[in-house]
Structure 1
Amino acid sequence: MHVSQRTSLQYFSERNDMLAVYSPMSVGDYCKALNDNIITVNEEYQRNAGIWASYARSFFIESILLEYPIPKIFLYSKVDLRTRSTVKEIVDGQQRSHTLQSFLIENSGFPQSSTLRN
């Protein structure tokens, strides 16, 4: 059967070039990876950071502090051949990531009493 005879769904379901792996990370570890540029933003396909309204940023931070579930952040891992290190690009979650970084910079981190998970 030629590709033209298959449905698009069949074609993409047979490909093995992308694999989603669940990898839990604490908010603190995620923010450290952002600050260390282990997690980066690819500006070729991401919109500008910081476009969430202040109420949306506040609601997101409140959700973390109250340990409510937050949406997953999707990252793409690639190897930087020059440095031989793995770099992760944000595929989905740039506004959430930017909000976390801004909060940490403005408030010198999260309160010590909060237990942050996922």
Structure 2
Amino acid sequence: MARSALLLVALIALTGWVLSYAFRTDADRHALLVSGVLATAVQLTAFGINRLVGRQKALVGWGMGAIMRGTVLALYGFIFARLLDLPLTAALVSFAVFLFASMLLESLLLAYES
């Protein structure tokens, strides 16, 4: 799990750095940071769900994680980003990109996990 967490943090940091070229204002970059932290927490929870259900039910665990990600994305867009007064475009685009990139990482980790 530690390797997964380290790879996830590195991936989100790299993706955030790339996104910072498109989102240049201080408010946008704050939204990137908040989205990155939230995406890391959500994805680590999804990794934990996959480990909990085991290899025999990996698809069930992945599906549960996907439902959780979609739910958090909706809640983030409708409630939390507005409460935190974040620019919605930067917050939602970055959160969705972080989740997508980390889902690709999750697929690789599941495929090569021993």
Q: Is the structural similarity TM-score above 0.5?
A: no
| Structure in which a larger fraction of residues adopt helix | 2
| Structure in which a larger fraction of residues adopt strand | 1
Which of the two has higher C-alpha Rg?
A: 1
Task: Give the TM-score of the pair, scaled to structure 2.
Answer: 0.28
Task: Give the TM-score of the pair, scaled to structure 1.
Answer: 0.28
